[in-house]
Amino acid sequence: MRIEKKALANLARCYATAAFPIDGEPTILLATEGEGACLSWSGPDFKQQRSVWDGPGGTMSIVPIPGKNGEFLAIQKFFKLFQWDEAIVVWVKPQADGSFESREILKLPYIHRFDLFECDGRVLFLGCTLAESKETRDDWSKAGKVYVGQLAKDWDSRLELRVIKDGLFRNHGYARSTWKGREAGLITSDEGAFAVTPPAAAGDDWSVERFMDWQISDVAACDIDGDGELEYATIEPWHGGYFRVYKRIGGKYLRIWEHPEIAEFYHVVVGTRLRNIPTFIGGCRRGSQHLFLVQAAAPDAAGLPSLTAVTIDTGVGPSNVAVLNGPDRDIIISANREKGEAALYFITD
């Protein structure tokens, strides 16, 4: 496996990442959590750069809208030091001239992560707030919540939400995965990890099931050892110093691996495939500020997968990554926050 880096741009406090087609062409987006821009790249080797917006910034998440050509939702205005009361969700549409137009559809203080699911001809919204409010940086006395709603056919209508889960302190982590054979969202907080599954049909309701019961900042899933069952990588505790992998054995989640570097502020954890190999991608914003991947080798004497980490880059401090898989190469899209860099890592055989 070969890794080649391409730095796309300097982008202060680079944070959010996404990749999806616009007019059938793969497009990459990266945005700052500070006051500033969201940029897109497309074309051969992603040399065509465009501005999606110059501001306001404060972007935590970007999610494409199912069934819409290049349209997406994004969080903006989540950029004050700790009081994120102004946070909003915008609907963004690409225009024929290559520009982008956006419109606010929701104001939801402290919204940090969200996702969209196609269900029975509807597009359903799942949103997570980090807290209800904060008086100081270290004030976590008011818990976050999980909201759901149905996205309108177009952006002329406001998004109406209801709460399906509350009491989630430091409601930080989110990953798209499967749960009991269906698409679901994995949510993490001080109370553990929860699988949130959308309704299968109109009239059904969302389900929320806790499957880990200790403090978890972030989680991701993949079948790292190829046995047909998902394993889970976590960052522990809140913005924590440990990157760990768990496997369900005997009805319990047992830790089978931990990254040897213990450093404050692990922030990246993604489950994916690179060159068709099940892979966890991790990253840390302190210590060596490394970006790395984790894959399985032959099982050990006990039959457990033997996991190894490969460093992709150091001194970059990634905040989030996305992956774009292709026939000849895979691409890790990394928001190298501490370096202020939007970067691609091309993975080839």
Of 238, 247, 265, nearest to 211 by C-alpha is 247
Neighbours of 111 (CB within 10 A): 25
pLDDT of residue 321: 98
pLDDT at 77: 96
pLDDT by position in tens, the chain (length 349): 899 999 999 999 999 999 999 999 999 999 999 999 999 999 988 999 999 999 999 999 999 999 999 999 999 999 877 779 999 999 999 999 999 999 999 999 999 999 999 998 899 999 999 999 999 989 999 999 999 999 999 998 889 999 999 999 999 999 999 999 999 999 999 999 999 999 988 888 999 999 999 999 999 999 999 999 999 999 999 999 999 999 999 999 999 999 999 998 999 999 999 999 999 999 999 999 999 999 998 777 677 778 999 999 999 999 999 999 999 999 999 999 999 999 999 999 9
pLDDT on residue 159: 94
Report strand pairing: 173-179 vs 161-168.
unpaired
- Return the pLDDT at 178: 97
Q: Which of 14, 98, 2, 4 is nearest to 316 (CA)?
A: 14
Structural domains of the chain in order of their starting residue, each with its CATH number: 217-349 (2.130.10.10)
Nearest to 326 by CA among 44, 48, 15, 98: 44
As a whole number of angstroms, the distance between CA 188 and CA 180 comes to 18
Q: Tell me the two tokens of residue 266.
A: 């692990």
Q: What is the pLDDT of residue 118?
A: 95
Per-residue confidence (pLDDT) for residue 164, from 0 to 100: 98
pLDDT at 318: 98
DSSP state letter for 44? G
- 65 in Cβ contact with 81 (< 8 Å): no
**What integer pLDDT is reported at residue 305 of this predicted model?**
77
Q: What span, in angstroms and rounded, lies between the C-alpha atoms of 54 and 122?
A: 32
pLDDT at 301: 66
Region label for 336, one of left (φ > 0), alpha (ψ between -120 and 50) or beta (otherwise): beta
Residue 185: CA count within 13 A, CB half-sphere: 25
- CA end-to-end span of the chain: 5
- The pLDDT of residue 15: 97
| Burial class of residue 340 (count of CB atoms within 10 Å of its CB; 0-12, 13-18, 19+) | middle
Residue in 132, 131, 293, 143 with CA at minimum distance from that of residue 220? 293
| pLDDT for the residue 81 | 72
> Which pLDDT score, from 0 to 100, does residue 62 have?
98
CB 126 within 8 A of CB 198: yes
pLDDT tens column, 65-85:
999 999 999 999 998 777 799
Identify the CA nearest to 271 among candidates 218, 316, 345, 329.
Answer: 218
Count the neighbouring beta carbons within 10 Å of the beta carbon of residue 199: 16
